Homo-oligomer: A and B are copies of this chain.
Amino acid sequence: MTEDRRLAVLRAIVEDYVATHEPVGSRSLVERYSLGVSPATIRNDMAALEDEGLIAQPHTSAGRIPTDQGYRVFVDRLSQVKPLSGAEKRAIGSFLDGAVDLDDVMQRSVRLLSQLTHQVAMIQYPSLTRSTVRHIELVGLGHQRVLMVLIADTGRVEQRVIDIQFPISDDLLARLRSRISEVATGIRLVDVAPKVSGLVAEFSPDERPGVSAIIASLLETVVERHEERVMLAGTSNLAAFGEDWGGSVRPVLEALEEQMVLLRLLGESMSGDSLSVRIGHENEVEGLTSTSVVTVGYARGDEVVAQMGVVGPTRMDYPSTMGSVRAVARYVGRILTEQQ
Contact = CB atoms under 8 A, between A and B. Distances in A.
A157 interface: yes
B135 A137 contact: no
Contacts of A235: 235, 253, 257
Nearest to A161: B101
Contacts of A248: 239, 242
Contact of A141 (B135, B240, B242, B257): B135
B160 A151 contact: no
A249 B238 CA distance: 9
Interface residues of A, number: 30
A264 interface: no
Interface of A is mostly: mixed
B139 A137 contact: yes
A101 B160 contact: yes
Contacts of A250: 236, 239-240
B161 A147 contact: no
Contacts of A240: 250
Nearest to A247: B242
A257 B239 CA distance: 13
Most-contacted residue by chain B among A137, A248, A249 (CB, 10 A):
A249
A94 interface: no
Nearest to A134: B141
A302 B105 CA distance: 38
A147 B139 contact: no
A184 to B, nearest CB: 15
A155 interface: yes
Interface in A108-147: 134-135, 137, 139, 141, 143, 147
Nearest to A138: B137
Contacts of A340: 143
A159 B159 contact: yes
Most-contacted residue by chain B among A134, A161, A236 (CB, 10 A):
A236
A151 B160 CA distance: 11
A135 B139 contact: yes
A143 B135 CA distance: 13
A161 B139 CA distance: 17
The 5 closest A-B pairs by CB, nearest first: A239-B250, A236-B253, A236-B254, A239-B249, A157-B159
Interface of A: 101, 134-135, 137, 139, 141, 143, 147, 149, 151, 155, 157, 159-161, 233-236, 238-240, 242, 248-250, 253-254, 257, 340
Given A149-B149, A155-B161, 4 more contacts: A137-B147, A137-B149, A236-B253, A238-B253
